Each structure stands twice: as C-alpha cells, then as structure tokens.
Amino acid sequence: MDVTELLASASLLVPEEVATENDISVQDVWDYLADDEWQIALNMLEELGDGQPLPLTFWEQLAEAAEQLGLERSVAWCHWRCSEIRNGMIRADLTLRSSSEARRTPISGHGVLRPMWDIGNLSPTGGVAVSIAGLWVEDMPFLEPGGRATVRLVPLTPTHWTHVQTGQQINMHEDRIVAGTAVVLEVHLPTPAMPTR
C-alpha cells in the first residue's frame, strides 16, 4: 500500500466520535489526506491514537506510512506503540540519580535504553531478581542525570510484571548501582491472545 492508502486504512480504525483535546477528529485527517498533506495526517492519527487504545494494525499501518515518508521519530514511536500492545506498558514518574551518584550522560528518550528494574521479584536464592524493560521518555528527546520525567516501560517478559501496581516504587539499574527510582502511575498488561480454532 502507498502512504495515502495506509493512512486512510488506519483512520478507519479510529471511532468517529473520538477527538483529541484540541478537537481533532478523523474528519480532519480525511481533509488533510484529500490535500496530500500526509505528514500532518500522520501526526493527527498519532495524536488520536494516544487518546484511546487502538488495535495493533493501526500502529503497524502508521509505522509503515512513516517509513515511506522517512520520518524516523514517528517510525520509532509507532513501533514502540506496537510493542506496548504486545507486551504491555507501565507509565511511571522516574527520577534519575545525579551524575555524581550514577550515570554521567543523558539517557535517550526514544526507546533505545533497556535497563534492568527491581520490581520486587526474588531469585531462587532469595536475592533481588531484576527484570528488563525498554524505556521511552514522554515529551523529551533525552533525560539528564538528576532529571525527572514521565516514562513508558515495555517489559521484555510481561509475566514478570503482573504484580506491579499503581503507586509502587521500582528501581532502575544499569549495573549494581540504582540509577533511578520510579513511582508507577499506570499499569496496562497485554491482553491474552484469543485461542484459535
């Protein structure tokens, strides 16, 4: 499919009554598609997708359209949203330790880092067992040491995270030292796949 077909197909997956805080609706997307304003239409669809859960196909089609348009940031975001649907997502308020205590360089905000997290699991010997999750910093290209931001975590192994709850404190590790502390804001575990006949 070409860009127009991908964006039109994705827009059909958004319920007509859905609108963003700025009153952007699917009709606005169609108006921009009619004028061949593909990047604006893509950005609007991303914003509409942030407002409510949409199917995996929606984000896959947006990712393919973004690839055809050469929009690297949008490609990364749409693939990230696909990962959230497959593996679940935990939103948290993360505070990194200062550069004198841990990491000395900023962390990338766009899903590159996959740190370890102490989420309360124990190893067979009773020690701390860490779990890996990718990290996306909301509304920031990177997070400085000592900085604070809302982050989205995608668990590598979702079953490790089933006990995590809103309000729980979890610790981020890149090595044995705690690199940051986060308070869980939301937990969205993946929906189990329906059995096929």
Domain 88-188: give its CATH superfamily: Translation factors (2.40.30.10)
∠ CA(176), CA(177), CA(180), 5° rounding? 125
Strands annotated E in 89-130: 89-96, 107-108, 116-118
- pLDDT tens profile 154-196: 999 999 999 999 999 999 998 888 999 999 999 998 866 544 4
What integer pLDDT is reported at residue 196 of this predicted model?
Answer: 45
Give the integer Cα–Cα distance in Å for 88 and 134. 11
DSSP-derived pairing of the beta strands 169-173 and 178-188: antiparallel
Instruction: Map out the domains of the chain as residue ranges.
Output: 3-86, 88-188
CA neighbor of 94 nearest in space, from 187, 190, 179: 179
Reported pTM: 0.88
Structure tokens at 117: 């997290």
**Stretch 7-34: mean pLDDT, rounded?**
90
- pLDDT tens profile 51-61: 778 999 999 99
Checking if the pLDDT of 133 tops 80, the result is yes
> Which amino acid would we find at residue 197?
R
Percent of the chain with pLDDT over 90: 74
Give the integer Cα–Cα distance in Å for 160 and 21. 35
What is the full DSSP assignment across 7-57? HHHHHTTS-TT---TT---HHHHHHHHHTT-HHHHHHHHHHHHHHS---HH
